[in-house]
Each structure stands twice: as structure tokens, then as C-alpha cells.
Amino acid sequence: MNAALLDITGRPGDVSDRTVRNLISGATRRPIGRTRRALEAVFRCSLRDLGFACPGTTAPPEDPVRRRQFITVGTALALTPATPARSAPRRLGVSDIERLHRRFADVVAHDHRHGGQLVIEHKASALADEALSLQASGHASQRVRKQVYASAAAFRSSAMWAAIDGRRFEHATGHMRVAQQLAEMAGDPYIKFRIWSHGGTMYRHMGRPSDAAAANDVARKLGLTRQDPLFASLGLARQGAIHGAAGDGTAARRAFGQAQDAMLRSDPQAPRPVWMNAFYDQAELDSLALTAYLALGDFERAEAHGHRCLAALRPHMHRSKAIATTRVARAQLEQGDVEAAVASAMSVPADASVRHPRVVGMLRAFGARLESIAPATAPARTWNQYAHDTWRQST
């Protein structure tokens, strides 16, 4: 309930253990205000459906079946379980942190494979709540407590990224707000970098390059970009993509040149968070350059970076491969190489072409542009038939 209130109001909730006990026992029959909003958000139904009286109405007769259902579901979903209040609190330690890190690595792996799926967003958000409930379940040193907050922030940042990738920008903004608060409590510069860097990408996709540059600048000004050139490289590469979206070719080329230099200076063996090691390398830098030059209309240069990206992508980067392939197809189409463009677009894996929101949108835009550039041609007919069959099977 407290996490729900943080999402809804932007301020931490103050629901206590006593509040929950009164709700379950029936002592509270007519929840009001923040308690009502939190209950309806957590259970995704009205107070009446939970067996409570709504404000301004007389209390209904007690429905024992509804009450039992509420207690059962509440026990399963409660973010602050009552068990610790009845038993001696345990001490949180390194094993708890390691378990959170393993689950975070699983979220990152699923994101690279499937990307943008609502189930990934919900899973990451639930794991953030689970990490916060762990905080309330026992004692911990300051160092361990900060690591738990950092894990919760990391999970929220993954939920944010899944929402960005799925074009659910309102959800992404909410996750970002919560993730920022958790990152501040953790005092972890790495997760702060991830959140603000994601923020820059989110605003770029929303068509707000000024906000994108401002958010990305927050990430780039963190001290770790001076300590590790690889973080500086990522910040610069994303800045280059933002310049591309804003139509500033000179600034984009300068940023990508600096990003490449910083990457060459970085130590590949330096210790880094799992999310950084999992995705940022030469292939990702070229992918961002592909994005920028496509936006700038420099299609030949965009295609060159696209082929470099595809040649260097690691096997687990399924989503990145689908996105880069679709962009290469668009760059080829804009250069008049229609047959190659259609062949590239048809090589996008079928699961991504029907399930990944960003890829689906890009392929539909490709089809519309193909119809504009080369209507009624053999490649256009081939694509139209392929697209019809592919998307029909997905419905």
C-alpha cells in the first residue's frame, strides 16, 4: 500500500502494521482517504468488491466469503507482512543482497530477450516492492540497508525501461520518480546514472530532445563518468542520439567521436554493474549512431553503423538485433535499395515483429514508407503479403 501511494501521490505512504490488521480483522469497515486509494490500487478493484463500505454509505452486512478472500489475497500481496511483528526480526545480510542481485540479473536477461513486455515491467516492479518489504522484515547494517535500497531502485529502473521500450511513457515516468527516490536513499551513483540515462532516452522517444539532453546531462555529470571512461562513453553516445533527434548533425558527430575515444580508453576488466556489462559495448555505440544518423537523414552512414552493430552484437541481444535490423532496412529503403530493404525487414525475427511494440511500430512505418517510395512494385507486393500473413497470425 505504501508503494502504491508513492506511485499515486509522489510521497511515501504512511500505512502502518496496525492499519493492515484493522482492515483484515474488520475493525475498519469504511476505509477513507489515502487508505482507500492505496487499497484500490493494490487490489485493482473497488472497496465494495473487497467487502468494505464506501464512504457516505451505511456499512453492509458482513460477507464472510468476501472477507476470507480479502484475507487470503492480502496475505499473498501485502508489501509489509505481519509475520515479523509476531516473531523476532531476523538480520539481513550478504546472502539477501546476493539473492536480489541474482533476480535482477534474471530481469535484465529477460529484457534483452523479449523487451518492452508488460509482464517484465510488472515483474520488475513487484521485485522492487519485495526488496522494500525485506527492509521492513529485519535488522541490517547501514551498508546492507543501502544495498537493499539500491536493488529496489535497480528493479524500478528496469520496470521503467520496459515501459519505455513498450511505449508506455506514463508508466515509465511513474517508475522513474520512484526509482530516483530509492536511488537517493541508496546513495548509489551507478543506479543514479542508469535512471537518469534512461530518462534521457525516454524523453528522446517522446519527441522532447531538450528534456532528453537535460536528463542525460545529469547522468553525465556524475563522478563515475570521470572514474570510468565506459560510463562517459555511454553518456556521450546517448547524447549523440539526442542531437540526432534534434537535427544537430555537427553535435552528433562530435559526440560519437568522443564516445568512441572514451570507449577505447576504458578498461574492459574493470568491475561494473551487471546491467552495464550486459549491454554496453561497441555494438550498442553503433546502434545509437545508427539511430542518430537515420534521424538526420544521413542514410548511408546510418546503414554502415547498422551493419557494424549487427556484426558485433552478442547472441543474447535479441531485442537489439530486431531493432537494428529494422533500422537498417529503413536506411536501405531511403537510399532506393528497395529489394535489400525488404529482405532486411523480412529477416526480423517473427516474435519481435509481432510482440515488441517498438519493432511493430517501426515495421509499420517501413511499410508505409515503402508504399510511398515504390508502390505496386514486386518488392512492395512481397512485403505486403509477408506483413499481412505475419500480423494476421499474431491476432
Residues 99 and 152 in one domain: yes
Question: Which residues are within 8 A (CB) of 92 and not within 5 positions of it... i.e. 6 or more apart?
Answer: 134, 135, 137, 138, 139, 140, 144, 145, 148
pLDDT score for 296: 97
pLDDT at 114: 64
On the CB side of 324, CA atoms within 13 Å amount to: 25
Q: How many domains does the chain have?
A: 2
**pTM reported for the whole predicted model:** 0.73
Orientation of helix 189-205 relative to helix 209-220, angle to 10°: 170
Q: Classify residue 314: in a domain, yes or no.
A: no
- Residue 138 has a pLDDT of 64
- The reported pLDDT for the residue numbered 238 is 97
pLDDT at 41: 82
Indicate whether 195 belongs to any domain: yes
For residue 82, what is the DSSP state? S
Domain boundary residue, one of 169, 186, 219: 219
Q: Are 328 and 303 in contact (CB under 8 A)?
A: yes
Grid cell locating 93: 545480510
Quote the domain boundaries for residue 106. 92-219
Yes or no: say if 241 and 291 are a contact pair by the CB < 8 Å rule: yes
* Residue at a domain's end among 180, 201, 219: 219
149, 119: one domain: yes
Candidates 241, 331, 250, 321; CA nearest to 279 is: 321
For residue 264, what pLDDT is reported? 96
How high is the pLDDT of residue 16?
80
Whose cell is 541481444? That residue is: 317
Span 201-219, pLDDT tens digits:
999 999 999 999 999 999 9
Q: Would you say 158 and 124 are in contact if contact means Cβ atoms under 8 Å apart?
A: yes
Give the pLDDT score at 60.
45
Q: Which residue has the cell 555529470?
A: 221
> Is 87 contained in some domain?
no
Are residues 211 and 100 located together in one domain of the fold? Answer: yes
Residue type, 232: A
Residue 318 neighbours by CB under 8 Å, 6+ apart: 112, 113, 114, 115, 349, 352
Query: Residue 278 has what pLDDT?
Result: 86
Determine phi and psi for 80, rounding to 5 degrees. Answer: -125, 90
Q: Is residue 14 part of a domain?
A: yes
Gyration radius of the chain over CA positions: 24
Where is the domain boundary, 219, 254, 285?
A: 219
Show the low-confidence residues of the chain (pLDDT under 70): 10, 12, 54-94, 110, 112-116, 136-138, 140, 392-395
* 97 and 204 assigned to the same domain: yes
Residues 204, 127 share a domain: yes
146 lies in some domain: yes
Cβ atoms within 10 A of the Cβ of 73, count?
13
Same domain for 156 and 202, yes or no, is yes
Looking at residue 374, its pLDDT comes to 93
Cell matching residue 141 = 547494517
- Does one domain contain both 136 and 182? yes
In a domain, 208, yes or no: yes
Is the same domain home to 66 and 171?
Answer: no
